[in-house]
């Protein structure tokens, strides 16, 4: 097939090596906008997961992280009772609704219970029960078990503490948040349950790993493909909850 003078085939397809790369959107720095904000905006505009999330109707690129984790560990199953801590904006809940077949879209009876918990109010999600609640409140576990009608099969968390700009401080904050989520999970999980949470690599996660290994059969650490390469985030997936702790531990 012949080429047009511009180096493209008549169909408009670029045949040069440089042209085969996807064109990236460049964002000019605007007056009054920080350079970091400009870089963030440029990254968002060129992020394939951001584009895919918009195309598929998910509320954020984080939806693909829980998909990839579930593809490997299979904890979002029909009939499961799921608690999503720090659920806003709701991408993980959207994935859970589909994979647990809450709306019965894959045939059969609608099954599963998805509970989204967050400090802020969220836009409704079909098939998901959303509650404004601080999971660290003394009676939060009792409320959650009441809403579920029993104990949970999965507690998952994509929470991150507000950034201070200091790497080590941020690391300690998110580990503390993850530990709080883990203790909450101990209170609401049924035996054999699963705990999934985001952590930041940085050296202070050893105690968290030790804690989880005492309470779960298996503990794995994974960085899913959709997690940005320049991010220190990873996810811990703890499966096979052992139930009530031995008082002598």
Region class of 183: left (phi > 0), else alpha (psi between -120 and 50), else beta: alpha
**Residues of the binding site:** 90, 92, 118, 134, 158
Tell how strand 152-157 and strand 113-118 pair up: unpaired
d(CA 181, CA 158): 10
211 exposure class (CB count in 10 Å sphere: 0-12, 13-18, 19+) = middle
**Residues of the binding site for S-adenosyl-L-methionine:** 90, 92, 118, 134, 158
CB of 39 closer than 8 Å to CB of 25: no
Q: Of 65, 98, 151, 198, which is the active-site residue?
A: 198
Is-catalytic flag, 72?
no
d(CA 241, CA 219): 10
Give the N- to C-terminal CA distance of the chain in Å, as an integer.
Answer: 74
| Nearest Cα to Cα of residue 186 among 212, 160, 204 | 212
d(CA 68, CA 91): 13
Tell how strand 189-200 and strand 152-157 pair up: parallel
Q: Which residues are catalytic?
A: 198
């Amino acid at each position: 097939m012949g080429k047009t003078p511009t180096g493209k085939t008549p169909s408009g397809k670029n045949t040069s090596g440089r042209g085969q790369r996807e064109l990236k959107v460049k964002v000019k720095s605007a007056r009054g906008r920080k350079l970091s904000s400009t870089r963030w905006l440029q990254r968002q505009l060129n992020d394939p997961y951001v584009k895919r999330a918009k195309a598929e109707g998910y509320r954020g690129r984080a939806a693909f992280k829980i998909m990839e984790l579930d593809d490997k560990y299979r904890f979002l199953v029909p009939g499961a009772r799921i608690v999503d801590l720090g659920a806003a904006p709701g991408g993980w809940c959207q994935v859970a609704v589909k994979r647990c077949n809450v709306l019965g879209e894959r045939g059969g009876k609608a099954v599963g219970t998805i509970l989204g918990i967050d400090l802020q109010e969220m836009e409704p999600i079909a098939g998901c029960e959303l509650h404004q609640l601080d999971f660290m409140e003394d009676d939060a576990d009792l409320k959650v078990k009441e809403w579920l009608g029993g104990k949970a099969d999965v507690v998952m968390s994509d929470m991150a503490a507000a950034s201070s700009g200091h790497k080590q401080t941020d690391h300690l904050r998110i580990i503390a948040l993850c530990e709080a989520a883990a203790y909450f999970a101990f209170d609401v999980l049924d035996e054999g349950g699963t705990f999934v949470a985001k952590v930041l690599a940085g050296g202070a996660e050893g105690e968290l790993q030790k804690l989880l290994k005492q309470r779960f059969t298996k503990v794995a650490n994974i960085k899913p493909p959709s997690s940005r390469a320049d991010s220190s985030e990873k996810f811990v997936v703890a499966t096979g909850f052992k139930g009530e702790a031995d008082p002598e531990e």
